[in-house]
Structure 1
Amino acid sequence: MTEGLYGAEEFDALLHKENVFDGVFECFRRIWDDEDALSDRQLDNSEYRTRLLERELAKVYPTLYDDLRDQMGDHPITSLDDGCGVIMDALSLREGFRLERELADEHDWNVSLSWAPIERLPSETKFICPEWFGVQSPSAVDREDYRYIGDLEVPQLPDTSPEYVWTRHPDKRLEEALKGNYSTEEIEDIYEDTKTLLEDIVHESVHTSFLVTSDHGYVNHLGNSPYSLPDKQEESLSAKFSGRFCEVGNSQAYQLLEQANIIQRVRDHYLVRGHYNWTKRGATKKIMHGGFSLPECMTPVLHIETNAAGGA
């Protein structure tokens, strides 16, 4: 592997850490801890290096996706026993590394970042929310210890311990960003608003301990990609998939794609692995989730400890 994907420390982590994904986490840190990684002028390169890293890891580590799938479940949010758990829809490790650095630098807070696999596949909210709260939509949760935030305004929080907050951001904005060639909104702008929302939650809460995470991450198909598809496989994906997953069906096209390790079956769904993309007529979303890739399925876990109630 080249392109500065890892240095000596990251290579040692990949080889010697008990969990190979802890090594992957350090490789992601090398890419995304750069303060300009999310900027409009550098984002393409950051995403390209992320795709290249995953493609090369899958080549040298054939059980990569099976091992990640086997680690799913028992997400840290499910074992929270006090403090505030904040679930930010589609927050990824990309934003996690920057949040770790900036929140520690700009506030008198202790901040640390780790990771956890998503609760289950496909990597979409409607499959993960039932595992955590028993309903398909975060806005449908009806509990005294829970608040759903659909916009950027923070309502009165439950003041229970633990309390749970689920925000529609950043996913609400990511869904509209980079849709075809028609949106000019930058990922960095979305990040800044998401960061401000998180800071407001911390200040409005009575708690001093926060676990900040997400239900899933996302893939960004912006820019060039080392992933390529022969015409026949691209036609099969375009014919069978409108997104990064679909229900299992009987078709030779599925068999072709599965044999080529482009898709993988998990229970009742086929999932697109890695960062494969395909051409469709009209505007095509560049930011997607629901499939089986490292940035989608390795979620950030930020631990924040403030020095006073309300994060003051």
Structure 2
Amino acid sequence: MKFKTEALTRLVEADDPVESVWSALWGIWSPASSSVSEHYDRESQMVQYERLLLDVYQEFYSGVLPDRCVNDASLDIPEDGAFVVMDAMSVREAGLFVEFLTSEGYDPSVSYSFSTVPSETTPYRDRVGYSDIKREYKTGTVKSDDPSLDGDEDIVWCRFPDALLENIQEGKTKLSSIEEMYEKTERTFARIIEQLDAEQIVVGSDHGYVRLDAGNTFPVTEPQKNRLQKAFSGRFVSVAEANADDLVDEGLVVESDGYYMPIGRYTWPARGKYSTFTHGGLSLPECITPRISFTQ
């Protein structure tokens, strides 16, 4: 109850509701727990807050958040520094990264930015003009946990944790757990930092992800489930390919920038193999992304 009261008080008093929401998210995930496993157990509090926000301030999802994602997504390379994109890094991992950097003697500061809509890599790259950025700045790509960088890269795009999250499947043999995913991501991140010669480093993300495993979803009725299944095959669909206006009217879906996206943790059963760690919709951990800055 105290958590709800404090969160609502901050939201009412805030000049910018996003500032209040980010403060609540960062308060959930920082400081990090003593173990990675305990840290990720905080997801239930994240679900509680997101459900509360939807219940008391639905306009945050229908107006505020999609507007910021469309207009404020960015990739800003620091002067005389480097920008490291950790693909799909969410506020969860940011809390752990800050703990790691502090233990290594750095003094990181944390802020936030946004994915775009849909909250996926390709739309984000298009939104920030990544093809033009690559022509102007030296870029490195990391696809394994043993990166080899020249050291003078302006941008480093690391495929972790996204590539590892994709391997965690519901109802199948798990190739890794979320704890193992993070530990491998942290090792890769540490090696990237060791190899970069940049004095100023900013760590960001193209999007986060939502957990849709047991206990981390918003319930829907049987008729709603059927309509969601009919409209969506994933976390978003073009308005040219579906009509989900009835779901928008019902507050389950948002239409923005030519796409329909489910709000928050609404989900529905899907046939066959599917990942419980996914993105493309409009939820807090997918769309409000962390920015970590520190000096070497």
CA contact (8 A) 1:211 1:301 kept: yes
1:208 equivalenced with 2:199 (yes/no): yes
Paired residue type of 1:262: L
Q: Which residue of 2 aligns with 1:310?
A: none
CA contact (8 A) 1:146 1:158 kept: no
Aligned with 2:273: secondary structure?
coil
Q: CA deviation at 1:133?
A: 4.3
1:240 equivalenced with 2:231 (yes/no): yes
Q: Which residue of 2 aligns with 1:121?
A: 117
| Distance of 1:209 and 1:232 partners within structure 2 | 52
Q: 1:251 to 1:245 in 2, by over 3 A?
A: closer
| Distance of 2:35 and 2:23 partners within structure 1 | 15
Q: 1:280 to 1:156 in 2, by over 3 A?
A: closer
Q: Which residue of 2 aligns with 1:175?
A: 166
**Structure 2: segments with no counterpart, 5+ residues:** none
Q: C-alpha deviations, 1:146-184, integer Å up to 9, x for none?
A: 111111222223515xx0100111100001113434315
Paired residue type of 1:26: S
1:110 equivalenced with 2:100 (yes/no): no
Q: Which residue of 1 aligns with 2:48?
A: 52
Q: 209-218 or 122-131: which moved more?
A: 122-131
1:89 equivalenced with 2:87 (yes/no): yes
Q: 1:83 to 1:6 in 2, by over 3 A?
A: farther
1:294 equivalenced with 2:284 (yes/no): yes
Identity in percent:
27
Q: 1:185 to 1:266 in 2, by over 3 A?
A: same
Q: Which residue of 1 aligns with 2:146?
A: 153
Q: Which residue of 2 aligns with 1:13?
A: 10
| Distance of 2:260 and 2:219 partners within structure 1 | 19
Aligned with 2:108: secondary structure?
strand
CA contact (8 A) 1:124 1:215 kept: yes
Q: 188-197 or 173-182: which moved more?
A: 173-182
CA contact (8 A) 1:47 1:222 kept: no
Q: C-alpha deviations, 1:184-211, integer Å up to 9, x for none?
A: 5221211111112111111111112110
Aligned with 1:78: secondary structure?
coil
| Distance of 1:49 and 1:60 partners within structure 2 | 17
Q: C-alpha deviations, 1:56-93, integer Å up to 9, x for none?
A: 11221132021122223444523533301000100000
Aligned with 2:141: secondary structure?
strand
| Distance of 2:43 and 2:186 partners within structure 1 | 21
Q: Which residue of 2 aligns with 1:63?
A: 59
Q: Which residue of 2 aligns with 1:80?
A: 78
| Distance of 1:164 and 1:200 partners within structure 2 | 15
Q: 1:76 to 1:174 in 2, by over 3 A?
A: same
**Structure 1: segments with no counterpart, 5+ residues:** 307-312
Q: Return the TM-score normalized by structure 1.
A: 0.85
| Distance of 1:263 and 1:11 partners within structure 2 | 23
| Distance of 2:198 and 2:242 partners within structure 1 | 53
Paired residue type of 1:194: T
CA contact (8 A) 2:87 2:159 kept: yes
| Distance of 1:298 and 1:101 partners within structure 2 | 20
Q: CA deviation at 1:114?
A: 1.4
| Distance of 1:192 and 1:220 partners within structure 2 | 18
Q: Which residue of 2 aligns with 1:196?
A: 187
| Distance of 1:101 and 1:121 partners within structure 2 | 30
Aligned with 1:183: secondary structure?
coil
Aligned with 2:42: secondary structure?
helix
